[in-house]
Structure 1
Amino acid sequence: MERIYDKKEIADCIASSKYHTVLDSLDVDFYLIKYQKGELVSSPFQNEILFQIVEQGSINIYCIRDDGTRYSLSNGAADYFLGDMDIFYPKSNNIYAEAAENLTCISFSIEKHREVLLSNNKFLVLICNSLSTKMGVITTMEAAPASLTERVLSYMKYKCSNETLKGIEQAAFHLHCSARQLQRILNQCENAALVKKLGKGTYRLISQPHSPDTPEGPY
């Protein structure tokens, strides 16, 4: 991730935005953020709450449930908003946005400028349109099926502290599988160099390329 504060580059990016008229009316501190493919653009772990507009590239937005199941919520390209819900509601603990390719976003702090945003009618109209569209898309989407292997890896990455699973029985309960099934999956993942065994019932996720092939089993 790279933050850019060059005034000319920011001005050029805003001028080319579909929303330049509204953005010009906002008295906020704009900057650009560039993400590499595979980087998280938004996640529950981020302390700063940002409003971001995709200017170049695309993103995938998904939800990770407590059992490691991954639900695709939306895909976004140029002109897509991130952070629109965060203006009104506490940040979700389960929703992630990931750069599907190299990405450039116009960005600013929501917390720092909340009063300015809520007092700008043109901006609020944009937000209402954005949220309405997203709700319409989400209600027509179905959760993509995921193998137990995929759920285990997602559970370790997003729900385990330091990406480390501790305790087979407890993890199996959250993953809705038997301890024997989970142990078999972990053994497969260890053989495939996807996880490392640290001790009895303790496994740490090994960093992989952005789209690793995961071993499949008859589960």
Structure 2
Amino acid sequence: MEKVESISLFNKYIRETKILELFSNDMSDKMDLFYFKKGDILINEGECSDYLFFLVNGRMKVFSHSSSGKVMFVSHFKSLQILGETCSLWRKTPTATVQATTNGYCIGISLTKHRELLFNDIKFLRYTCMNLGERLSYMNSNTCITMFDSLESRLASFILNNSTDNIFHYNLTECAELLCTSYRHLLRVLNTFCNNNKLNKTGKYYKIIDKDYFIEIASSSYDVNSSI
């Protein structure tokens, strides 16, 4: 990840995301713009961050490791999202890793310089509390759906949520992680959809043939792209 000095690009994301509305005072002179590449880690499990990050362009995934070393998907971020606020603000050791799944940009505020200013900003703290509450609600709902809905149902929702013009094109390894299943099981279900003429595979793409079918079997509330 690298710092970006472009004032025009910085102002573009400030304007598009309306990030300054989260604070009581103008924080623009206390913010830095960063560019990250796919695979970059913004917050590392077990290591406190010196910056409070706001995702303004691109995607992030959040995952942790079980005691056996198994990767456990936690959440999925898209802009505008605050990253790791609880651990970063209160100097708590992160229990999860935040990693970029696309190239993109984030805005950072140095906690070494501005931690106390953020702590005394009631408007910002209210936003943080609301955001944490929404994430907790999402995670509770998503846990129940993952436990009790079939992979077919969850995958149908994922396909509908991540298709453009009935074309589904997504990294299947990451898709398996997001749906808490194995890559092999995911391929089996996709092949079943294709064999039953619900999908058609062309190269690396899947075309939806029977959209009504996916709408019918989709989990009613499952959405990995929810703004969490």
With the length of structure 2 as denominator, give the TM-score of the two structures. Answer: 0.57
Q: What pairs up with 1:13-52 in 2 under 5 angstroms?
A: 13-23=13-23, 25-26=26-27, 29-44=30-45, 46=47, 48-52=49-53
Of stretches 47-56 and 117-126 in structure 1, the one that deviates more from structure 2 is 47-56
Aligned to 2:117, what secondary structure does the other structure show? helix
Matched-pair contact (CA < 8 Å) for 1:53–1:79: yes
Shift of 1:114: 1.0
Supply the distance in 2 between the matched residues of 1:88 and 1:47 (Cα, whole angstroms).
Answer: 10
The match for 1:62 is 63
Shift of 1:88: 2.7
The match for 1:122 is 123
Q: What count of residue pairs does the alignment treat as equivalent?
A: 151
Matched-pair contact (CA < 8 Å) for 2:48–2:91: no
Matched-pair contact (CA < 8 Å) for 2:20–2:27: no
With the length of structure 1 as denominator, give the TM-score of the two structures. Answer: 0.59
Aligned to 1:66, what secondary structure does the other structure show? coil
* Unmatched segments (≥5 aa) in structure 1: 146-210
Shift of 1:121: 1.3
The match for 2:81 is 80
- Root-mean-square deviation over aligned CA pairs: 3.0
The match for 1:91 is 93
Aligned to 1:141, what secondary structure does the other structure show? helix
Residue 133, structure 1, aligned to residue 134, structure 2: yes
Identity %: 18
Shift of 1:38: 1.5
Supply the distance in 2 between the matched residues of 1:74 and 1:111 (Cα, whole angstroms).
Answer: 27
Supply the distance in 1 between the matched residues of 2:28 and 2:119 (Cα, whole angstroms).
Answer: 12
Supply the distance in 1 between the matched residues of 2:107 and 2:114 (Cα, whole angstroms).
Answer: 15
* Unmatched segments (≥5 aa) in structure 2: 148-172, 175-181, 185-228
Supply the distance in 2 between the matched residues of 1:28 and 1:114 (Cα, whole angstroms).
Answer: 15
Shift of 1:6: 3.5
Higher helix share: 2
Matched-pair contact (CA < 8 Å) for 2:34–2:108: yes
